[in-house]
Amino acid sequence: MNIEAIKSIYAFEMARTRRTLMQSVVSPVVSTSLYFIVFGAAIGSRVQEIQGVPYGAFIAPGLIMLTLLNQCIGNGSFGIYFPKFTGTIYEILSAPISTAEIVIGYVGAAATKGLIIGTIILATASLFVDITIAHPLLMILFFVLTAVSFSLFGFMIGIWAKDFEQLNIIPMLVVPPLVFLGGSFYSIDMLPPFWQTVSHFNPVLYLVSGFRWSFFEIADVNPWISLAIVVAFLGACLAVTAWIFRTGYKLKN
């Protein structure tokens, strides 16, 4: 294992975060604060509690997950797309670095940035509502697995995208609706039976539900099923990434 190569890629990607501090840190904090102000005032005044949890606290895990997914996908995709865009990807591919080392460097940095922002959002949320974590170890497990999985997913998007428009299609047009419709701001028990069934086909529901259970021990889906879904998604992303590097898809043409 070429540790120096991993450290070089990781350090370069982390340095980019420091150069774009306003975009990387301040923007998510401001957005989350606005969510709490708007949803807390507009909906919280009408929906006091959901399943015994104050509404403001109930939406906190969903907001954290929304930010985590956006940050991990965005950082993971841009990290590998930019070398493709500038042509420096060929230097990386021709260097004595294995596929695993490239993935660990880029995905590790993207996941780290996502976890840092997610932690900041958790601290920001605690300024607005009282948050208790019933199962901190399970919360950390969901947190880390989700960050790694969606950073890897973003890495795949960055390889697939041929321009900046494609790079932003999934983070901007696919992920936010899935998060909003995945029980982030409500329990799916509040929906009619038909839409409850439809919601179970939304993969984000399992992420939000399992993450929320680690806080308040309430969930729309069995938390162990949610955990299994996250692990299965991570395995699928690893398999696709291995295939990409084995075949050179979108890398060698």
Give the integer Cα–Cα distance in Å for 240 and 20: 30
In the chain, where are the structural domains located? 3-247
pTM score, two decimals? 0.89
* Partner residues linked to 78 by β-bridges: none
Q: Give the mean pLDDT per block of 10 residues along the chain (253 residues).
A: 85 81 76 78 70 86 90 90 82 82 91 92 86 92 94 92 85 84 86 87 91 93 93 93 85 65
Query: Would you state the pLDDT for residue 45?
Result: 62
Query: Would you state the pLDDT for residue 40?
Result: 66
Query: Would you state the pLDDT for residue 233?
Result: 93
Give the CA-trace dihedral at 60, 62, 64, 66, to 10 degrees.
-150
Query: Would you state the pLDDT for residue 109?
Result: 93
Terminal-residue alpha carbon distance, the chain: 27
Is the distance from CB of 68 to CB of 117 less than 8 angstroms? yes
